[in-house]
């Protein structure tokens, strides 16, 4: 039986992995919150790995508040760069395969075609910059790794766009949503199954991969479908990025080319996955 360490237990993806773990009876999971395994403390990470034996480590621990990262630059760096660095060092020493989750924010959003894994990176904010530096630490220190870049992550767990829209629909009669930022939503349960599938299949095609659900839409399109499926009567207005200023810049175009990961897996359409997520929330 393969033993799998999952960091960031209480985050969105960590909770999603925990919710589907029972579907993988040949994997033994060890879920750790930051209070139990602080990946930003080099000595604690080393001590932890010296006393445990794992085959895989899935790193779901991350600083993900895009706007707050602009103010908390040092904290974002500690979690998103030093954390992966220390995990990589211990994974290398103990021959553990690392699966690390990254982001579309490593790109600047100036493209007009979906981003391939080999395309040049150019983050436009602190969050994307620290996530890219975290990737670089892993690549430098490990051979056996999967870095999975994803976009617009949502689920029935944690804080995300789906849950925010549903909350606003219960509080307001009208809302404005940005219609000039283009990307692909990703249901975190689908991502969890992709990650665990790599482990179950003992996949050794290591490297960087892009994963999101199928389909290219705007945040406005996403919100519109959320309200339709939720049977909400809220009025939704399409606005531009300039009408909704944020501390951090967002990529205008963050569509990921998922051709590479499709060699191993089927990818659902975003509408089908959103339907499942809302069904799970309602149940």
Q: What is the pLDDT of residues 61-99, one digit of tens each?
A: 999 999 999 999 999 999 999 999 999 999 999 999 999
Query: In the predicted model, is pLDDT for residue 234 greater than 90?
Result: yes
The values of phi and psi at residue 102, to 5°, are: -120, -160
99 alpha carbon, distance to own chain's centre: 12
Residues acting as catalytic residues = 127
In 3D space, the residue among 104, 134, 99, 138 whose CA is nearest the CA of residue 119 turns out to be 104
In 3D space, the residue among 71, 223, 236 whose CA is nearest the CA of residue 161 turns out to be 223
- Please report which confidence band the pLDDT of residue 282 belongs to, taking 50, 70 and 90 as the band edges: confident
Cα separation of 262 and 203, whole Å?
13
Does the domain spanning 2-159+185-214+254-267 belong to CATH 3.40.50.720? Answer: yes
The values of phi and psi at residue 273, to 5°, are: -70, -40
Residue 57 belongs to what H/E stretch? strand 56-59
The CA–CA distances, whole Å, from 77 to 64, 74, 164, 184, 248 equal 11, 5, 27, 26, 16
Q: What is the pLDDT of residue 277?
A: 97
- Please report which confidence band the pLDDT of residue 8 belongs to, taking 50, 70 and 90 as the band edges: very high
- Please report which confidence band the pLDDT of residue 136 belongs to, taking 50, 70 and 90 as the band edges: very high
What percentage of the chain exceeds 90 in pLDDT? 98
In 3D space, the residue among 251, 222, 217, 250 whose CA is nearest the CA of residue 236 turns out to be 222
Cα separation of 66 and 64, whole Å?
6
């Amino acid at each position: 039986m393969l033993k799998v360490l999952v960091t960031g237990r209480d985050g969105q993806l960590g909770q999603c992995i925990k919710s589907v773990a029972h579907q993988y009876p040949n994997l033994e999971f060890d879920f750790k919150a930051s209070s139990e395994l602080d990946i930003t403390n080099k000595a604690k990470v080393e001590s932890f790995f010296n006393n445990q034996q794992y085959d895989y480590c899935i790193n779901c621990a991350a600083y993900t508040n895009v706007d707050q990262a602009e103010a908390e630059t040092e904290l974002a760096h500690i979690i998103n760069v030093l954390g992966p660095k220390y995990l990589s060092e211990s994974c290398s020493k103990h021959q553990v395969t690392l699966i690390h989750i990254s982001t579309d924010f490593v790109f600047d959003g100036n493209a007009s075609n979906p981003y391939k894994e080999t395309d040049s990176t150019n983050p436009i904010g602190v969050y994307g910059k620290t996530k890219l530096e975290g990737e670089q630490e892993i690549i430098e220190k490990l051979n056996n790794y999967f870095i999975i870049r994803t976009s617009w992550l949502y689920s029935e767990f944690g804080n995300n766009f789906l849950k925010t829209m549903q909350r606003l629909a219960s509080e307001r009669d009208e809302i404005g949503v940005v219609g000039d930022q283009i990307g692909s939503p990703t249901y975190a349960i689908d991502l969890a199954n992709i990650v665990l599938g790599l482990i179950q299949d003992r996949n050794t095609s290591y490297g960087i991969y892009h994963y999101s659900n199928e389909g290219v839409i705007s945040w406005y399109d996403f919100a519109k479908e959320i309200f339709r499926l939720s049977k909400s009567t809220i009025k939704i207005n399409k606005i531009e990025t300039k009408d909704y200023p944020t501390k951090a810049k967002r990529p205008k175009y963050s569509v990921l080319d998922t051709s590479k990961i499709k060699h191993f897996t089927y990818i659902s359409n975003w509408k089908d996955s959103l339907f499942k997520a809302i069904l799970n929330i309602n149940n």
